[in-house]
């Protein structure tokens, strides 16, 4: 006799957790608008930003284990510490503490997002670890609860739980999704040799502003949102902006050549991503993006040029 399905079965399964491996894919982010306001008393800057998740992914697999361990391959392997300072491990501890479960898992990271590249790779790994361990341990938290834990791990982590395109305020951790009609934007991502430190980029911006050598701050995100609604890449290109770009260029003057090369290759616009040194270029369509990426690779102005599209979903199982 076949046993009847009971409505509680799925809930039981969620509570017990997964017996097999849980694999989570998590995207990189770029900032379509990164407005940096004044330095707050807590040492963070007030931000007014529009996050956008693009199709360059890290992948984190979580398996059952007797302790918490992390291994990795890909970008940054051999450079990045795999101990309690790693954001994936910190995220697993934070979730276990919140849910009152032992932090036992074997985590493995396959990284494609470059280290300290301005694409929020570490934050992405933290978001992936929260989603993977939640499924592995059967803690069954909602995405909003996970985003609440994420906010303590880093300003970009809540966005990488949600993905898509979203407004970020506060220090970037307060995320409101943008409900735009679906449009896919085509990007070229120029990955540089070596990284840039995010705190150093903010300190450089403060220095430039104190010296009166920074450009005027970007201000409101209204223009960017209006551009997104028009669904025309030329209009979006004109609305992109990053207050940290002057700082990144001051720290890495060669990025000016990368931006110039992308625009010479036919990109509609190029900006430094976050605190850099990655530069991202908006293309008219997917074919144009391929062509621009090939030209950038030939020009030798970056370590690697890749195409990507966005927006894409945040950290997801599968």
**Which residues are designated catalytic?**
29, 156
The sign of the torsion formed by the CA atoms of 130, 134, 137, 139 equals positive
Kindly tell me which of 221 and 278 has the beta carbon lying closer to ligand ATP: 278
DSSP 35-49: EEEEEPTTSPEEEEE
Token pair of 80, please? 């990045």
Cα–Cα dist 89/48, whole Å: 29
Query: Residues 101, 134: contact at Cβ < 8 Å?
Result: no
> Residue from 17, 27, 35, 117 that binds ligand ATP (CB under 6 A)?
117
- Only one of the segments 39-47, 113-121, 183-191, 294-302 lies at the binding site for ligand ATP (rule: CB under 6 A); that segment is 113-121
Query: Residues 118, 200: contact at Cβ < 8 Å?
Result: no
Work out how close the CB of 177 gets to ligand ATP at its nearest, in angstroms, rounded to a whole number.
19
Work out how close the CB of 285 gets to ligand ATP at its nearest, in angstroms, rounded to a whole number.
27
Phi and psi at residue 317, to the nearest 5°: -75, 140
Strands 105-111, 68-74: pairing is parallel
Token pair of 282, please? 């908006």
Token pair of 22, please? 């849980």
> Residue from 17, 35, 121, 270 that binds ligand ATP (CB under 6 A)?
121
* Residue 301 binds to ligand ATP (criterion: CB under 6 A): no
Q: How many residues bind ligand ATP (CB under 6 A)?
A: 18
Burial class from Cβ neighbours inside 10 Å (0-12, 13-18, 19+) for residue 317 reads middle
Cα–Cα dist 87/279, whole Å: 24
Restricting to residues 186-215, name those near ligand ATP by CB under 6 A.
Answer: 198
In sequence order, what are the beta bridge partners of 31? 51
> Residue from 26, 36, 87, 135 that binds ligand ATP (CB under 6 A)?
87
Work out how close the CB of 163 gets to ligand ATP at its nearest, in angstroms, rounded to a whole number.
15
> Residue from 156, 173, 243, 295 that binds ligand ATP (CB under 6 A)?
156
Cα–Cα dist 170/159, whole Å: 13
> Residue from 88, 92, 160, 282 that binds ligand ATP (CB under 6 A)?
88
For every residue of 116-133, which 3-state class applies, written as one string? CCCCCHHHHHHHHHHHHH
> Residue from 115, 174, 203, 297 that binds ligand ATP (CB under 6 A)?
115
User: For residue 77, what is the DSSP state?
Assistant: T
- Only one of the segments 122-130, 213-221, 256-264, 280-288 lies at the binding site for ligand ATP (rule: CB under 6 A); that segment is 122-130
Kindly tell me which of 44 and 232 has the beta carbon lying closer to ligand ATP: 44
- Mask of contacts with ligand ATP, 209-248, x by CB under 6 A? ----------------------------------------
* Residue 274 binds to ligand ATP (criterion: CB under 6 A): yes
* Residue 116 binds to ligand ATP (criterion: CB under 6 A): yes
Nearest residue by C-beta to ligand ATP? 122
How far, rounded to the nearest angstrom, does the alpha carbon of residue 181 sit from its chain's CA centroid?
Answer: 22
Residues of this chain that bind ligand ATP (CB under 6 A)? 80, 86-88, 115-123, 125, 156, 198, 274-275
């Amino acid at each position: 006799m076949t046993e009847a399905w009971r409505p509680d079965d799925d809930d039981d399964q969620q509570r017990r957790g997964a017996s097999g491996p849980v694999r989570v894919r998590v995207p990189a982010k770029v900032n379509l608008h990164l407005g940096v306001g004044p330095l707050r008393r807590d040492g963070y800057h007030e931000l007014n930003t529009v996050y956008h998740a693009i199709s360059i992914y890290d992948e984190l697999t979580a398996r059952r284990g007797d302790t918490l361990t992390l291994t990795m391959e890909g970008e940054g392997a051999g450079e990045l510490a795999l101990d309690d300072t790693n954001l994936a491990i910190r995220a697993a501890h934070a979730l276990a503490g919140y849910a009152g479960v032992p932090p036992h898992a074997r985590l493995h990271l396959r990284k494609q997002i470059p280290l300290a590249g301005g694409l929020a790779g570490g934050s992405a790994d933290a978001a992936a670890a929260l989603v993977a361990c939640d499924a592995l341990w059967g803690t069954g938290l909602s995405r909003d609860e996970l985003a609440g834990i994420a906010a303590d791990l880093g300003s970009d982590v809540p966005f990488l739980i949600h993905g898509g395109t979203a407004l970020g305020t506060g220090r970037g951790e307060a995320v409101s999704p943008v409900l735009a009609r679906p449009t896919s934007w085509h990007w070229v991502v120029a990955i540089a040799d070596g990284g840039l430190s995010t705190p150093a980029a903010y300190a450089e911006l403060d220095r430039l502003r104190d010296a009166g050598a920074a450009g005027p701050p970007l201000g409101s995100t209204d223009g960017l949102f209006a551009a997104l609604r028009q669904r025309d890449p030329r209009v979006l290109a004109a609305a992109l902006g990053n207050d940290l770009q002057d700082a990144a260029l001051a720290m890495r003057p060669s990025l000016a050549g990368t931006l110039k090369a992308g625009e010479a290759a036919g990109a509609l616009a190029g900006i430094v991503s976050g605190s850099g040194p990655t530069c991202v270029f908006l293309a008219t369509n997917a074919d144009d993006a391929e062509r621009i990426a090939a030209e950038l690779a030939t020009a030798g102005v970056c370590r690697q040029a890749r195409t990507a599209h966005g927006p894409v979903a945040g950290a997801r199982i599968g």
